[in-house]
Amino acid sequence: MTDHKRSDRLQTNNPPRMSGARRLAWGAAFGILLFGAGYLINETGAFSFSLTSETGATTQIGDAVYTRESMAADRKANYQDRTKPAPSTPVGADGYYSPPSEALIPDSAYGDSVKRGRAIFMETSTRVSDHVGNTLACVNCHLDAGRRENSAPMWAAYVRYPAYRSKTKSISTLEDRIMGCFTYSMNAQASPSGEPPPAGSDVYRDLMTYFYWMSDGAPTGEKMPGSGYPKLEKTEDGYDVMRGQKVYADNCMLCHGADGQGARDPESGTVFPPLWGPNSYNWGAGMARIDTAAGFIKANMPLGKPFSLTDQEAWDVAAYIDSFERPKDPRQTGTIEEARVEFHSGEESFYGKEVNGKILGAGFDSK
Ligand code: HEC
Ligand code: HEC
């Protein structure tokens, strides 16, 4: 570099300009750093435990906190003397239900089932490989092992079933509801068995035991704060795939990849899950609906930065990821158009609609 150039730089007070190659190297290093940070957050569940100590006690920050220890004490006192205050629901400083610490899973036959259920939840495609047709796990959409509020947490689900569901036009038990996530979110059709675990399977038994354990103290018959995903109001500008592409490039691509296929580790499996394509959720899944995906994304993505996107950005990026082809809706027996009318009318979805000159919904030829 000549002196002349150096003085130029000093005069204009500009930061040194990097060569193309150096910029690329920095970009890569920064990418790896963020990748690692995201991975750590994911692995340690840093967020779910920030308010909970080893014993499951909740840190006293606000007045609203009601700990599991208080609940246990109130239970005992009230059982012995009915005039004493009834036990209440344990809540943390954030006002949401606080599930028990995982260190408290008992050492017993019951605890073993809880642990098996948790393992299935975390490593679904390897633990239940006969019935999973993609590379996802329950925890990919129900964060922090199903404990995170606004991420359709399992403690809120456990106390809401059996319930009528308009999707099936019948009463669903919790087992039926889990079967639904195997059918659509885990695309069981493409699995070796071609179907979800059969009714009564130990897979459901262990999962439900895990959810039951997590829900100790949660009330039945009411919708708990933080249940499901938040419902986002529609915005004035609607949603737009092109705008979403930019949101994606700026906020998501680093982890989920330019091609949306995420990243896999040959040993540990999925690190960043795919968002579309043959290894993703199918066209019948809740996440294939733009409104549902927008609510999930708003509250949970980018990972580690909940509620950082505007509603508009969440709608647009949801439209973007749900504008790609994904596995077929297993309910489709006739044409795509028939299935669109029967199962997708009135919903915010690109199923059976034309995007970039192609009608979506055809799925992929069997792998
Ligand atoms: C691709 C994302 C995805 C995956 C993977 C997934 N689910 Fe879900 N799950 C959803 C969506 C979307 C909903 C509906 C949430 C809503 O509408 O608020 C849901 C809802 C549920 C509910 C009902 C929650 C409630 O409050 O009513 C249960 C229970 C459930 N899932 C269990 C599971 C289990 C168990 C697995 C693994 C076998 C799984 N899910 C895998 C996306 C997923
Ligand atoms: C720091 C890395 C990171 C960033 C950035 C990120 N994600 Fe994710 N995303 C993840 C991980 C990891 C999971 C699975 C969560 C788990 O298993 O705990 C996930 C899960 C998801 C899921 C549900 C699972 C699936 O594959 O369908 C969707 C949808 C999603 N992300 C969309 C987005 C969108 C949209 C953005 C940008 C606004 C984004 N993510 C940004 C890491 C990231």
Give yes or no: residues 162 and 176 share one domain: yes
Q: Decide if 236 is inside a domain.
A: no
CA of 262 to the centre of ligand 2 (A): 9
Question: For position 32, what pLDDT does the model report?
Answer: 52
> Looking at 98, 118, 151, which one is the last position of a domain?
98
The mean pLDDT value for 172-177 works out to: 98
Higher pLDDT, 48 or 64: 64
Range picked from 11-25, 44-58, 157-171 for highest mean pLDDT:
157-171
Q: How confident is the model at residue 268 (pLDDT cuts 50, 70, 90)?
A: confident
Give yes or no: residues 224 and 131 share one domain: yes
CATH at 269: 1.10.760.10
Q: What's the mean pLDDT when you consider all of the chain?
A: 87
pTM, to two decimals = 0.86
Instruction: Flag the least confident range among 32-46, 72-86, 286-300.
Output: 32-46
Give yes or no: residues 52 and 140 share one domain: no
Question: For position 5, what pLDDT does the model report?
Answer: 38
CA of 232 to the centre of ligand 1 (A): 18
Q: Decide if 267 is inside a domain.
A: yes
3-state secondary structure string, the chain?
CCHHHHHHHHHHCCCCCCCHHHHHHHHHHHHHHHHHHHHHHHHHCHHHHCCECCCCCECCCCCCCECHHHHHHHHHHHHHCCCCCCCCCCECCCCCECCCCHHHCCCCHHHHHHHHHHHHHHCHHHHCHHHCCCCCCHHHCCHHHHCCCCCCCHHHHHCCCCEEECCCCEEECHHHHHHHHHHCCCCHHHCCCCCCCCCCCHHHHHHHHHHHHHCCCCCCCCCCCCCCCCCCCCCCCCCCHHHHHHHHHHHCHHHHCCCCCCEEECCCEEEECCCCCCCCCCCCCHHHCHHHHHHHHHHHCCCCCCCCCCHHHHHHHHHHHCCCCCCCCCCCCCCHHHHHHHHHCCCCCCCCCEECCEECCCCCCCC
Q: Decide if 120 is inside a domain.
A: yes
Q: Decide if 261 is inside a domain.
A: yes
Give yes or no: residues 134 and 207 share one domain: yes
Give yes or no: residues 125 and 216 share one domain: yes
Q: How confident is the model at residue 55 (pLDDT cuts 50, 70, 90)?
A: very low
Give yes or no: residues 196 and 127 share one domain: yes
The mean pLDDT value for 35-42 works out to: 47
> Looking at 200, 228, 256, which one is the last position of a domain?
228
Q: Decide if 6 is inside a domain.
A: no
Q: Decide if 329 is inside a domain.
A: yes
Q: Decide if 159 is inside a domain.
A: yes
Asked if residue 13 has pLDDT above 70, the reply is no
Q: Which atom of ligand 1 is nearest to the CA of 157?
A: 26
Question: For position 262, what pLDDT does the model report?
Answer: 96
Residue 205 domain boundaries: 99-228
Give yes or no: residues 248 and 346 share one domain: yes
Question: For position 266, what pLDDT does the model report?
Answer: 82
| Ligand 1, CB within 6 Å, residue ranges | 124, 136, 138, 140-142, 152, 156-157, 160, 177-178, 181-182, 185-186, 207, 227-229, 281, 285-287, 292
Give yes or no: residues 106 and 177 share one domain: yes
What confidence tens digit (pLDDT) does each residue in 222-232 have? 899 999 999 99
Give yes or no: residues 220 and 108 share one domain: yes
Give yes or no: residues 256 and 167 share one domain: no
Give yes or no: residues 94 and 106 share one domain: no
> Looking at 182, 207, 228, which one is the last position of a domain?
228
Question: For position 7, what pLDDT does the model report?
Answer: 36
Count of the separate structural domains present in the chain:
3
Test site for ligand 1: of 142, 168, 275, 289, most ligand atoms within 8 A of the Cβ: 142
Q: Decide if 308 is inside a domain.
A: yes
Give yes or no: residues 87 and 208 share one domain: no
